Amino acid sequence: MRRQDFYYELPEELIAQDPLEDRSGSRLLVLDRRSGAVSHHVFREITDYLEPGDCLVINDTKVIPARLIGAKEGTGAKIEALLLKRRENDIWEALVRPGKKARIGTKIQFGEGLLMGEVVDIVEEGNRLIQFAYEGIFEEVLDRLGQMPLPPYITHQLEDKNRYQTVYAKHSGSAAAPTAGLHFTSELLKEIKEKGVDIARVTLHVGLGTFRPVKADEITDHHMHSEFYRIEQDAAEKINRAKENGHRVICVGTTSCRTIESAADDSGRLSAGSGWTDIFIYPGYQFKILDCLLTNFHLPESTLIMLVSALAGREQVLAAYEEAVRERYRFFSFGDAMLVW
């Protein structure tokens, strides 16, 4: 299967640049994967598609303000560092631009010296390992100096950092938001619980690898970066109970989907635990647990649209995307949502 098989035309003006004031006021396209039928709704009507006994799986990762703008010591040259993952203590793997200014031994000053970094190694794909030095608590310093790492297709400045967080974000560690969850409000989640739907929290710290473009012509030649996940016992029990009782497991976002599919055994049973996953889901994949997927609209030729196509079929997904374009839906991170059921 070729990368180009997942291409679609998207007018640039349909790329959402700002979040809506009302999270749950986004539009919701519903795709029936059995018939291919498409219908149009408001996101808060998601409750109409949930039934008592179902289990809604959410990713409670929290985005860190991982984008740091600094100056090279000595020359003052501007250097941007995007923190990807904490390796040990105060050493972070980071994407640094421009890389040619960040050789091993380079020292970078952030926030007029509130945070100092030194490049100590160069690793896979040219990423840098940076040893940080500071006074106080790193997370507090980062919250003061860092910016939210918005995707490059969002050119507007984000006024409120919390709008790139889900209302249930808890465990810090992501370089990008699990954007399907951005549509939920606390009130909507309460309504879902009151309907008798279980909500299972899992954690997957989203890395940039999830959004890395597929460059290989044959999609099977693409390699996913690994991301850390954790599933607690109560979440595993809720998900297993739904399956055992003949109810559905609905994942909020591709990250929740990849988490439970990575941790399931061949019989479709989920165990608590943590680890690293580089699972790549594309057409032909047999889902072990997931029944329905709530997601945003994804970039052409991305691993994310390939995952959605694995569930609903490539032709049906592309037809639904074409209809979304015709209906002027808002696309990508701050855009509208899609339910595949």
pLDDT surpassing 90 at residue 317: yes
- Residue 308: what are its φ and ψ, rounded to 5°? -60, -40
pLDDT of residue 207: 85
Strands 292-296, 337-340: pairing is antiparallel
Looking at residue 157, its pLDDT comes to 87
What 3-state DSSP class applies to 58? Answer: strand
Rounded-to-integer distance, Cα 240 and Cα 243, Å: 5
Question: Could you read off the pLDDT of 251-260 as tens digits, one per residue?
Answer: 999 999 999 9
So what's the pLDDT on residue 152? 86
- pLDDT band (50, 70, 90) for residue 105: very high
| Sign of the torsion angle spanned by Cα atoms 73, 109, 122, 96 | negative
* Overall average pLDDT of the 316-321 stretch: 98
Residue 70: band (very low, low, confident or very high) from pLDDT cuts 50, 70, 90 = very high
Q: What is the pTM of this model?
A: 0.93
Q: Is the pLDDT of residue 7 over 70?
A: yes
Q: Which residue has the tokens 């007029």?
A: 112
Q: Which of 136-150, 162-176, 206-220 has the lowest mean pLDDT?
A: 206-220
Model pLDDT, residue 211: 63
Per-residue pLDDT reduced to its tens digit, 190-239: 999 999 999 999 999 998 776 678 999 999 999 998 899 999 999 999 99
DSSP codes, 92-128 = EEEEEESGGG--TT-EEEEGGGTEEEEEEEE-GGG-E
What are the angstrom distances between the C-alpha of 289 and each of 23, 59, 256?
Answer: 28, 16, 11
pLDDT at 328 over 90: yes
The closest alpha carbon to 204, from 276, 148, 303, belongs to 276
Mean pLDDT score, 128-139: 96
With 80 as the cut, is the pLDDT of residue 170 above it?
Answer: yes
Q: To the nearest whole percent, how much of the chain has pLDDT over 90?
A: 91
The lowest-confidence range among 29-33, 126-130, 152-156, 164-168 is 152-156
